[in-house]
Structure 1
Amino acid sequence: MSIRKDYIERLIEEFAAALARIIKARREQRFADAQQLIHATALTSLGMEYGALLLADPASTARLLGNPARVKVLARLVAEDGELLLSRGDTSTADVRFRYALALYSEAQALGLTPDAEDTATITRLLGLISPVGRA
């Protein structure tokens, strides 16, 4: 197995573990911990501050990240951030995050990502969570 493939597999495993910790913290209503984990995961998995990644539109952010797997990681983090915000009662900001995450998934697909079952489930869940106003 190549070093690059080993590295990518390790990153995927680390991201999956971090995502599980984020979900657990949210479900346990440890909202500050969950938010901190989202920010830390963006930094360790993507090498950039989470807030900085959200400054640009999804297409620009996808180009910055440069590869569909990295865009997918951010899409999932943004989706989790939206769920966290929704759990805290901030429905309007959660809706913005859900839409951003959906746009990132679309950009990842445009870059060549073939959605797996987990991606499809996340996308379906997000579509059900966004407010009907402005839906196409």
Structure 2
Amino acid sequence: MRTILALCLLAASTGIAHADSIMPAAELADTQLADPAQEAKAVALMETLRCIVCQGQSIADSDAEMAGDMRALVRERIQKGEEPEDIRRWMIERYGQWVSYKPVLSGETAPLWIAPILLLAGGAWLARGRIRKGKKN
């Protein structure tokens, strides 16, 4: 029984060791652009794009391999002279609305925009009821 358990643990741990690929990182994943103005544009854009692996980190902050590839794509396109907003649109088309920290209002994202308003209105309505009950007593 112990042998089977040891083999299972060994098999599970080897999968974790091979989680990253053996491919080298993209050329511009961790290398800044030579032009400081272009690099500033790239970093500003990367801070507004979410890593699709890390769930919550921007691609500028993430160490995930996919985030490195996304950083490289952003830097390559900035270096070619594309505007950050065009690159953002392209990333959203490629990875979906979730990749952006600034989602646009659409049918998919409407609940994200409407829910806070409804929660505030509900809280105000509950508070109003409590205040009225307090005044009556």
TM-score bracket for the superposition, by shorter chain length: under 0.3
State the TM-score, normalizing by the size of structure 1: 0.25
Larger radius of gyration: 2
* More helix by percentage: 1
The normalised TM-score by structure 2 is 0.25
